[in-house]
Amino acid sequence: MRALTWQGKHDVRVETMPDPEILNPRDAIIEVTSTAICGSDLHLFDGVIPGVLAGDILGHEFMGRVVETGPKSTLKKGQRVVVPFTISCGGCFHCRMQQFSACDNSNPVEKQDASELLYGHPMSGLFGYSHLTGGYPGGQAEYVRVPFSDVGPIVVPDGLDDDKVLFLSDILPTGWMAAENAQIQPGDTVAVWGCGPVGLFAIQSARIMGAARVIAIDHYPNRLKLAREMGADVIDYRQTHVLEALMEMSGGLGPDAVIDAVGMEAHGFAPDTILDNVKQIVGIGADSGHALREAIMAVRKGGRVSIPGVYGGFLDKFPLGAMMEKGLQIRTGQTHVQRYLKDLLRRIEEGEIDTTFMISHRLPLEEAAKGYENFKSNQNDWTKVVLKPGMAR
Amino acid sequence: MTGRTVTIAKSRAEVFAFIRDLSNASAWMGNVAPAGKADGATMHWTISAPAGVAIDVAARISSEHPDTRIAWTTTSDSQVEGQGEILLRDAPGDRGTEVSAVVAYMPPLGEIGRLMAKLLQVDPHIQGRHALKRLRMLMETGEIATSQNRKQESH
């Protein structure tokens, strides 16, 4: 089969790789019909995530048709499914508590040692996201082996196009959980850093959850435009002093909740970002935390900080004093996708949530490298790239 | 000596029965070969070292207390002496069973013994932790997680 493989920093190539097989009883094999490039894939592309080897297949946002099932799978051949990026067994301590992205049993035992060393506890298995998370071949491919197929994949009706449901795999539940983690109350003002897909879905979710006002922060004109269409007021951080603007836009109190949908590769030329970026390049590996630091400064006292943005290592100069003295609540984590799928699919079916608005480009799988390059360096025009295996060039 | 604990979402009776059935052993312990005797209480396993060196361990179950404890000790044909035990305790609430494994090896005297001692410090510790995780996987999911894409792939 054809699949998108990581070959080095800024080097991804579609290669011919062996087809997957059923290995465990609860496996299913999915023939991929649509798969997207994620903002967090760019961290892999930029080489800032450890444990990626040449030849690894990337991709964790995918859907398609079931073509083969193991004897204990509950799926049937021919069913159309969206697959969560989280691989979850359903039976461990964490899965039983609905903490699906913390599953204890999905990361192969020998692979657990690395993340256990790094974080104190081993990470769960994810598709296509380095050997820290198991080294599972990902979904930017023609076929994927899906473990625990009785827990993860959700069956979607044929009447809904791929574009309408693909983002159930990751970014829609991620935006939703980000808003949920902000514990929004009626009357709240919520500020969101980053108008990429997760930020946009967080804005949409915050509105549904009853935020009175949502303020979105970015600098790309097209992304700010999309945020405005979602019902947010916008701040271009290159034109406006963010902290002052947020104070004025929240009656002098400060936003009640803040959402960092930027993560470890924050942009910009603030002194702290430059220092973080130098450290990343040199390999000391400090995550870049400008958006997070700003969010913690901006949020009102006693407010809530929600962090869907992906971080991997250590952050220098974390404003711990601000956090403590202001009495903040911090909620973060990889999305517990399976927790949200049924409810979000229903909202899509009922027309309450639309996901197609943010797809800017559809490319054949064979042109995936072009998709990565533009998604990274042309972020104004390339808001979300969906790859289609089998689409003609 | 090395020890480790996992919590398994099953009852003590189920965990005990699963461990005591030595035909399950190779699936979770790794490197376990079928035993020579058909008495249901003996087994062989290997501690592996770099450069293909392996230490063969032959052991038998020396005592058991139903649903609570299984202890083993090496037999005379073992390459190294050792003993170990698995202890089961009720976990708090409805979390299941806490399973602890303790193992101690006593390498022989002399140069070979010193080399073995170094090996035995590291490998059984890791092997033990991995084995307990595989036990939990088997009991909670019915499978051992693998990220291979096809059968017979090498890492």
Nearest to B133 among A20, A109, A136 (CB): A109
* Contact assessment for residue B59 and residue B72, using Cβ atoms and an 8 Å cutoff: yes
pLDDT for B153 beyond 60: no
Task: List, for residues B119-136, the tens digit of each pLDDT value.
Answer: 666 666 777 889 999 999
Query: Which phi-psi region, left, alpha or beta, contains residue A120 (left: φ > 0; alpha: ψ -120 to 50)?
Result: left
Write down the pLDDT at residue A390.
86
A62-93 burial, b at 16+ Cβ within 10 Å, e below that, comes to bbbebebbbeebebeeebbbbbbbbbbbbbbb
- Burial of A252 per CB tally in 10 Å (0-12, 13-18, 19+): exposed
Best of B10, B125, B129, B147 to mutate (most A CBs within 10 Å, chain A): B147
Contacts of B140 in chain A (CB under 8 A): 89, 91-92, 105
Q: How many CB pairs below 8 Å do chains A and B form together? A: 76
Q: For residues A328 and A291, what is the distance between their CA atoms, to the nearest angstrom?
A: 16
The whole-number pLDDT of residue A312 equals: 82
Q: How many C-beta atoms surround the C-beta of residue B122 within 10 A? A: 12
Give A-chain residues touching B145 at CB under 8 angstroms.
24, 89, 105-109, 125, 134, 147
Token pair for B61: 């179950």
Please tell me the predicted confidence (pLDDT) of residue A313: 81
Q: Is the pLDDT of residue B155 over 50?
A: no
Residues of chain B neighbouring A89 (CB-CB closer than 8 A): 137, 140-141, 145
Backbone angles phi, psi at B96, to 5 degrees: 110, -125
Contact A336, A99 (CB under 8 A): yes
Of the candidates B141, B149, B151, which has its C-beta nearest A91's C-beta? Answer: B141
A18 in contact with B at a CB cutoff of 8 Å?
yes
| pLDDT score for A72 | 98
- The reported pLDDT for the residue numbered A180 is 98
Mutation target to probe the B interface, by most B beta carbons within 10 A, among A32, A58, A94, A104 is: A104
CB within 8 Å of chain B, chain A residues 119-158: 125, 134-137, 145, 147-148
The distance from CA A59 to its chain's CA centroid, rounded to whole angstroms, is 11
How close A198 comes to chain B (CA, Å)?
27
In a mutagenesis test of the B interface, which of A21, A27, A30, A105 is the best target, namely the one with the most B β-carbons within 10 Å? A105
Chain B residue with CA closest to A26: the answer is B143
Q: Does B154 touch chain A (CB under 8 A)?
A: no
Strands in A213-218's sheet, in edge-to-edge order, are: A233-236, A213-218, A189-193, A257-260, A304-307, A329-332
Per-residue pLDDT of chain A (393 residues; tens, 9 = 90+): 999 999 999 999 999 999 999 999 999 999 999 999 999 999 999 988 889 999 999 999 999 999 999 999 999 999 999 999 999 999 999 999 999 999 999 999 999 998 998 899 999 999 999 999 999 999 999 999 999 999 999 999 999 999 999 999 999 999 999 999 999 998 999 999 999 999 999 999 999 999 999 999 999 999 999 999 999 999 999 999 999 999 999 999 999 999 999 988 766 556 676 667 666 665 555 667 889 999 999 999 999 999 999 888 888 889 999 999 999 999 999 999 999 999 999 999 999 999 999 999 999 999 999 999 999 999 999 999 999 998 887
Rounded Cα distance between A383 and A379, Å, is 6
H or E stretch at A67: strand A61-69
Burial A217-229 (b: 16+ CB within 10 A, else e): bbbbeebbebbee
Task: Look up residue A52 and give its amino acid.
Answer: V
Task: For chain A, report the end-to-end CA distance as a whole number of angstroms.
Answer: 17
Instruction: Map residue B112 onto helix, strand or coil.
Output: helix
Count the neighbouring beta carbons within 10 Å of the beta carbon of residue A301. 11
Contact A257, A184 (CB under 8 A): yes
Cβ contacts of A11 within 8 Å, gap of 6 or more? none
Structure token digits, residue A191: 């500020």
Q: Is B54 on the interface with A (CB under 8 A)?
A: no
Chain-centroid distance of CA A53 in Å reads 21
- Cβ of residue A325 closer than 8 Å to a chain B Cβ: no
Q: Are A362 and A389 in contact (CB under 8 A)?
A: no
- pLDDT tens column, B72-82: 999 998 888 88
The residue in chain B having the minimum alpha-carbon distance to the alpha carbon of residue A145 is B149
Q: Which residue does chain A place closest to B143, by CA atoms?
A: A24
Write down the pLDDT at residue A336: 98
Q: Distance between CA A68 and CA A350 in Å, rounded? A: 31
3-state helix, strand, coil in chain A (%, to 5): 35, 20, 45
Nearest-angstrom CA–CA distance, A193 and A290: 10
Strand blocks (E) in B11-136: 32-33, 42-48, 54-65, 69-74, 81-90, 97-106
C-alpha distances out from residue B54 to A56, A390, B75, B80, B121, Å: 31, 49, 17, 11, 14
State how far the Cα of B20 lies from the Cα of B85, in Å rounded to an integer.
Answer: 12
For the segment B36-74, what is each residue's pLDDT rounded down to a tens digit? Answer: 555 678 888 877 666 667 778 889 999 999 999 999 999
Its ipTM equals 0.90
